[in-house]
Amino acid sequence: MAVKRMGQQTIILPNKPAILAGAAWVGPKEGKGPLGSLFDHVTEDESYGQQSFELAERQMVLDAARAAIRKAGVREGDIRFLLGGDLLNQIISASFAARELALPFLGLYGACSTMCEALCLGSMLLDGEYADHVLCTASSHFCTAERQYRYPLEYGNQRTPTAQWTVTGAGAAVLSLSPGKTPMARITHACVGRVVDLGVTDANNMGAAMAPAAADTLLALFEDTHTAPRDYDLIVTGDLGRVGRNLLLELMNSQGTPLIEDRCLDCGLLIYSPEQDCHAGGSGCGCSAVVLNACLLPQLQEGKLGRILFMSTGALMSPTSSLQGESIPGVAHAVVLESPKAERNTRHDF
Amino acid sequence: MAVKRMGQQTIILPNKPAILAGAAWVGPKEGKGPLGSLFDHVTEDESYGQQSFELAERQMVLDAARAAIRKAGVREGDIRFLLGGDLLNQIISASFAARELALPFLGLYGACSTMCEALCLGSMLLDGEYADHVLCTASSHFCTAERQYRYPLEYGNQRTPTAQWTVTGAGAAVLSLSPGKTPMARITHACVGRVVDLGVTDANNMGAAMAPAAADTLLALFEDTHTAPRDYDLIVTGDLGRVGRNLLLELMNSQGTPLIEDRCLDCGLLIYSPEQDCHAGGSGCGCSAVVLNACLLPQLQEGKLGRILFMSTGALMSPTSSLQGESIPGVAHAVVLESPKAERNTRHDF
C-alpha cells in the first residue's frame, strides 16, 4: 500500500481536494493592520455585540463559517464534517459554534497549528471520498487568550520584546472534492508534524519554542517530496513572529537547506504593522487562519501565486505545564497549495 | 462519489481497518473494580511515581501507548499518526506523551468522546490508505480532573447523587490496514456525531447532558445503515452513567427505536461496583478507552462478541462556559466493531 504516502511523513493527495471558499472575521486592531481591507468583516470592537469576549469569539467563528459556506455556493447541510478548534480550554469557541451549525463535529486541538491540522485531516477525508464537503475553522481572541493564558486585561501588564499579540480573528474554509466552479486553490500534499521540544521555557517567547517544530516539518516535507525551498513561490509560516522566523532561517541554514528569505513569510508578521506595537508579531490559531483565507487564497485563485507551502505552527504547553516547570513543545503541520490557474508565479502582492 | 458513505452521517469502511492490539493502564480504584483483573497495569497509587498528578496521567498514556505498540508486534516507527486527547486544558497529557513518542501528532478534543473520535478518524485514515498503522489514545485522571473542573481534592467536597467519578486511566489502541496476524476486531463503520444540547446546566449531571447526543448518533447510525438495536450483540456507551443511560433508554423509546436493555451497557457502569461509592458511575476520556481495550476487544477477538456498536460520549462545556451560564452541549461518536471469528454471538461475559 502507501501509494498515497511519500517518504516518512508526507501524504500525497491524488484527488487534489479543492478549497472552494474561505472567510475571515477579525477584530478592530487587525482591521487597522496592513491586510485590513482584505478581511470579510472587521468588528467594531472586541466584544462584537456580545456579553463576553468568549461569546464574541464564538460568534466570529459562526459568522465566518456561514460566510464561507455561502461563498462556496453550498448549503450548510452539504457539509459532512466540521473540523475546528481554538485556544480556549475545552475548545469552547469551536464546540459551541458547532452546536449552532448542527454538523458532525471533529474537535481539534493543535494550539496555533489548528488551521493546518484541520486542512490536513479535512483534505485526507475528502481525498479518500469520505465526504464531498468539509468545513475547517480556527479562531483566537486577544481578550479571551490574555485572560486564560496570562493576566486579566485590567492589570495592564508589560509585554516583553519577544512577546506576540494574539490575533482576534476567525477563519473558515470550505473544502470540496468535486467543485462545481473554479476553486480558490487545491491541496496537493499534507504533512502532519511531530512534537518537537528543544527546551524553551519562556512562555513569552513562543516563536522560539515553535521554530524547531517548523524546521522539522519543513525538512520532512522537502525530503519526502524531493522538493526544495525554490520549488515554492512562497513558504508561509503561521505565527513564528520575528524571533521565531529568524530562528527558523538559522535552523534551516544549519541543516543545509537554507530558505529563500524574501520568499519566506510569516502570517504573524504580515498581520500587524510595526507601528501597532505588537512586539514580535501576531499569534493565535486565528492568525494563520485569517491570513490564509483573506490574503493567500485569493492570490492563489487569481494565479498571482502558483504553488505555496502553508504551515501553521503551535505551542502545546498549558499554564499548568508551565507552572510545573515544563518546557514548551511545538508542532507544525503543513499543506502544499496549488493555484487552479498557474503552476508557478512570483508576481504576488508581497 | 460518496460510495463510502451511507445516509447522512455514517461512513462505511470497505477495507475494514483492524484493531491489532490495545492496552489499558488504570489507577488503584479502577483496579479494585469488577474489571480490575483485565487491565494491563494497575498503578499502586494515583501519582504513579511522578511528582504531579498531571505527570502521572502523561506517564500512563505513554506506558499504555508503548504497550499497545509492543502487543501489536510493530515498532514505534511503523506508526504513521498518533491521534489522541484528554480532558486537561490544552490536552497536555496527549501532547507531552506525543513529544516522547516523536510521531506525527493529531491532537483531538472531544471530551469523553475522544477515544471514539480517534477511532473514527484513525479508521478513515487507514481505510483511505494514508497510513498503514495509527495509534489512538485517550486518558483521564481523577485528581487532575477534579483540580481543573471542580475543587482541589483537599476540600473534600460532597458529591451529588448524579455526579460521576472521573476514571484514572489511559487506553491505547493500534489500528492497522494490513494486519500480519489475527486482529482483535475490525472497524466496519464510523459515525461522527453532531453537537446536541437540550439545555442541561447541571455540571454534576453530565449523563443527562450527553444522553441526547447519544440518542442522536444512534438514530443516525441505525437509519443510515438500515440496522436496528437487535443487529448488535451489544451497544456499549462511553460514560453516560446510571442517570444518562436511563435517559438514553427513555429517549430511544420515545423515538420509536427502543434499545434492548440487557444488551445496552455503559462503560461508566461497568468499571466500578456499587460498593465503590461512585454515585452515578465512571466518566472521563479514560473510561471508555480502558473498557474498550481491556474488556471489549478481547471478547471480540475470542468471538464471544460478534458485532458491537461502541459509542463514546462527551460533554463539551468548560468551567468558563458554565460560569457564564451556558448549558452543556454533548457529542457522541460511534464505531461498529466486528469480531474476526464470529458474525454474531451473545455468549459474552456480561
**pLDDT tens-place string over residues B80-139:** 999 999 999 999 999 999 999 999 999 999 999 999 999 999 999 999 999 999 999 999
In this structure, is residue A62 part of a structural domain?
A: yes
Distance CA B68, CA B22 (A): 5
- Residue of A90, A105, A196 with shortest CB distance to B317: A90
Judge contact between B168 and B44, C-beta under 8 A: no
- The alpha carbon of residue B117 is apart from the nearest alpha carbon of chain A, in Å, by 7
Judge contact between B300 and B183, C-beta under 8 A: no
* Residue whose cell numbers read 486579566: A152
In this structure, is residue A149 part of a structural domain?
A: yes
Q: Are residues A194 and A118 in the same domain?
A: no
Cell of B256: 420509536
pLDDT of residue B3: 61
In this structure, is residue B349 part of a structural domain?
A: no
User: Dihedral of the CA atoms B314, A78, B7, B10 (nearest 10)?
Assistant: -30
Q: Are residues A152 and A210 in the same domain?
A: no
CB contact under 8 A, A320 and B89: yes
Kindly report, residue by residue over B236-249, the tens digit of the pLDDT. 999 999 999 999 99
In this structure, is residue A21 part of a structural domain?
A: yes
In this structure, is residue A154 part of a structural domain?
A: yes
Q: Are residues B230 and B130 in the same domain?
A: no
pLDDT of residue B1: 47
Contacts of B121 in chain A (CB under 8 A): 106, 121
pLDDT of residue A154: 86
Rounded to a whole number of angstroms, the distance between the first and last alpha carbons of chain B is 41
- Residue of A55, A106, A110 with shortest CB distance to B192: A106
Contacts of A106 in chain B (CB under 8 A): 108, 110, 117, 120-121, 192
Length of chain B: 350
Domain end position, chosen among A150, A176, A202? A176
Q: Are residues A310 and A239 in the same domain?
A: yes
pLDDT of residue A3: 61
Q: Are residues B328 and B191 in the same domain?
A: yes
Cell of B283: 466518566
Domain end position, chosen among B142, B176, B210? B176
Kindly report, residue by residue over B31-78, the tens digit of the pLDDT. 999 999 999 999 999 999 999 999 999 999 999 999 999 999 999 999
- CATH number assigned to the domain comprising residue B312: 3.40.47.40
Q: Are residues B241 and B324 in the same domain?
A: yes
Q: Are residues B64 and B172 in the same domain?
A: yes
Rg (CA), chain B: 18
Distance CA B260, CA B333 (A): 20
Q: Which residues pair with B107 in a beta bridge?
A: B84
Best interface-test mutation with B: which of A79, A91, A95, A125 has the largest number of B CBs within 10 A?
A: A95
Kindly report, residue by residue over B193-223, the tens digit of the pLDDT. 999 999 999 988 999 999 999 999 999 999 9
Judge contact between A128 and A1, C-beta under 8 A: no
Contacts of B324 in chain A (CB under 8 A): 51-52, 54-55
Domain with B292, as residue range(s), is 185-338
Query: In terms of Cα–Cα distance, which of A323, A329, A109 is closest to A210?
Result: A329
Q: Are residues A189 and A316 in the same domain?
A: yes
In this structure, is residue B11 part of a structural domain?
A: no
Q: Are residues B193 and B305 in the same domain?
A: yes
pLDDT of residue B179: 65
Q: Are residues A168 and A203 in the same domain?
A: no
Where chain A has pLDDT below 50, the residues are: 1-2
In this structure, is residue B237 part of a structural domain?
A: yes
In this structure, is residue B76 part of a structural domain?
A: yes
pLDDT of residue A207: 93
Using 50, 70 and 90 to split pLDDT, how confident is the model at B294?
very high
Contacts of B148 in chain A (CB under 8 A): 320
Contacts of B105 in chain A (CB under 8 A): 192-195, 331
Average of pLDDT values for B11-24? 96
Distance CA A279, CA A240 (A): 12
Contacts of B130 in chain A (CB under 8 A): 4-5, 11, 124, 128
Q: Are residues B82 and B222 in the same domain?
A: no
Instruction: Count Cβ atoms below 10 Å from residue B153 Cβ, excluding itself.
Output: 13
Judge contact between A85 and B109, C-beta under 8 A: yes
- In total, how many domains does chain B have? 2
Domain end position, chosen among A176, A199, A227? A176
- pTM greater than 0.90 (yes/no): yes
DSSP B70-123: HHTT--GGG--EEEEEESSGGGHHHHHHHHHHT-BEEEB--GGGHHHHHHHHHH
Average pLDDT of chain B, as a whole number: 95
- The alpha carbon of residue B224 is apart from the nearest alpha carbon of chain A, in Å, by 14
Best interface-test mutation with A: which of B195, B198, B328 has the largest number of A CBs within 10 A?
A: B195
Rounded to a whole number of angstroms, the distance between the first and last alpha carbons of chain A is 41
Distance CA A53, CA A153 (A): 12
Nearest-CA residue of chain A relative to B51? A324
pLDDT of residue A49: 97
Best interface-test mutation with A: which of B130, B177, B328 has the largest number of A CBs within 10 A?
A: B130
Q: Are residues A114 and A221 in the same domain?
A: no
| ipTM at complex level | 0.97
